[in-house]
Amino acid sequence: MKVIIIDYGAGNIQSIQFAFQRLGIQAVLSNSVDEILSADKVIFPGVGEASQAMEMLKKSKLDSLIPTLKQDVLGICLGMQLLCNHSEEGDTKGLGVFDVEVKRFTNAVKVPHMGWNTIQNLQSDLLIEIPENSYMYSVHSYYAAIGAQTIASSRYELEFSAALQSNNFYGVQFHPEKSSKDGAQLLQNFLNL
């Protein structure tokens, strides 16, 4: 199976590659359109600031490619947020795959939301064999609102989308590559889709 991790200069993608390595898969880092098109599965990572990340996507012409992919795509953290309609962070227009807005937590809570939090209302093949209220590791200051495509929710200040799905596009706010056994299960589920 050919797994490509989109490498557009945003964030710690080494950890994702190592997580697949632990599952026996040598995931390949690439920003080449041809190579991404040839993949069986595509990981769309991202850590950092939304508007800068979107600029980097545009530079590699990946902003127009990603929403047209027919393979299973998994957006992680900022990658998931960039697949949404719009982010308050840097007033960034998203790729519009997930029909929700990305907003900032208020200062009623500590920001960033950092650490292990539970996920609920799990409803996708991406999440099979992961028990309700499993803990996943997250670090983020912005969240995707709840919408029709929400397949898991989490709570911090309010209820937000911990995971989203639209056809072959999946997104998780947390870091499965850093979420111990349940995170590994999620990555394995993604490979099994």
Catalytic residue annotation: 77, 175, 177
User: Which residue reads 């111990």 in tokens?
Assistant: 180
Residue 180 or 192: which CB sits closer to another protein?
180
State the minimum distance, in angstroms, from the CB of residue 114 to another protein: 5
Of residues 121 and 137, the one with the C-beta less far from another protein: 137
Smallest distance from another protein to CB 97, Å: 23
Long-range contacts of 127-134 (CB under 8 A, 24+ apart): 127/151, 127/152, 127/163, 127/186, 127/189, 128/189, 129/185, 129/189, 130/182, 130/185, 130/186, 130/189, 131/182, 134/182
- The residue (of 17 and 166) whose beta carbon lies closer to another protein is 17
How many whole angstroms separate alpha carbon 22 and alpha carbon 117? 23
Closest to another protein by CB, 68 or 107: 107
Residues of this chain that interact with another protein (CB under 8 A) are 11-12, 14-15, 18-19, 21-22, 47-49, 107, 110-118, 135, 137, 139-141, 155-156, 175, 177-181, 183-184
Give the Cα separation of 42 and 193 in Å (integer): 12
- Cβ 8 to another protein shortest distance, Å: 15
Is residue 116 within 8 Å of residue 92, measured between CB atoms? no
CB 136 within 8 A of CB 182: yes
